Amino acid sequence: MFIDYLNFYNKRINNFLISVFNNIDFKNSKLFDAMKYSTLLGGKRIRPCLIYFIGDILNVNLNNLDVIAATIEVIHSYSLIHDDLPSMDNSLVRRGKPSCHTKFNEFTAILSGDALQSLAFSILSSKSMFKVSSSIRLKMIYELSKSIGISGLCMGQYLDLKSKDVVITKNYLEKVFFYKTCLLINTSIKLVCLNKNISRNHKINKDLYKYSTIISLAYQINDDISDFKYDKIVNKKFKNKKYNYVSLVGLDRAKFRVLDLYNKAIFILKKLAKKNYLKIELLKSFTKYMVNFDK
């Protein structure tokens, strides 16, 4: 049942993104090709699917969730393009395929990232959303802009890149994860809650925000575990890697941290279900899928 929902939401967000690109100008340009290539390259669609699962337990209009999910995924795509640039992480491959600047060129990659960021705000500000007032939409735009600027994603990337100049500790790395990864996932949930007109101080919102912080940190650490295992097998990336959570604390401690965070996230979901009568079974399954802690 969970896999059916996951496949449904993956197909839904992909179709919505395709419809967005079908309505963009300059389709014969390399800039358009780079934007579309990077956004539709693949991936687990973790952020959009989380939006759909959170929206499901809060009974948010599905078409409205399409808008939020597409907005967040386009922002995520822009951030990955810039992450891969030679001046950033200098990655030649993304999701098993050439990264944007590798397939096209560096200036096209930079501009496609810029254009995708702009496109995200265009989606959020213009696409039809059922029973969402202009004031609520402005709050959503504000929350998104705050999470990707100096108070969020950009600061996370800055802390990541300047890490060569500081002593890397577990706390420092988790700070990088928080700004670079967690805040955008937190914002995904905030936008859903705003759509439902749940006050920022509402208990449900606070619990969901805490849940998203915990589970996104677990997701990022588990991603480092996967990188460590893969790189150890093929012996190709770690010699150029600045750091990794596993290299800082060890594989066993990293796994334990993920499991601990997973258990805390499930505890929050159970509390939400008990106090607010929310149906959280599918979200519990998705949480396990996100961290994949049993592998």
Q: How does pLDDT run across 239-259, given as a tens digit for each residue?
A: 445 678 998 999 999 999 999
**Number of domains comprising the chain:** 1
* pLDDT tens sequence across 195-242: 876 655 477 888 999 999 999 999 999 989 988 876 655 455 544 456
What's the confidence (pLDDT) of residue 201?
47
C-alpha pair distances (Å), 227 with each of 47, 54, 170, 291: 20, 28, 17, 14
Least confidently predicted of 131-145, 206-220, 251-265, 277-291: 277-291
Can you give the pLDDT at residue 234?
Answer: 47
Q: Tell me, what's the pLDDT at 292?
A: 80
Convert 117-129 to b/e letters by CB count within 10 Å (16 or more is b): bebbbebbeebeb
Domain membership of residue 161 as a residue range:
2-291
Tens-place pLDDT, residues 154-174: 999 999 988 877 888 999 999
92-134 pLDDT per residue, tens: 999 889 999 999 999 999 999 999 999 999 999 999 999 999 9
State yes or no: pLDDT of 31 exceeds 50: yes
pLDDT at 135: 94
Q: Other CB atoms closer than 10 Å to residue 7's CB: what's the count?
A: 11
Question: Where residue 281 sits, what CATH number does that domain have?
Answer: 1.10.600.10
d(CA 188, CA 74) in angstroms, rounded, equals 12
> Which pLDDT score, from 0 to 100, does residue 242 have?
62
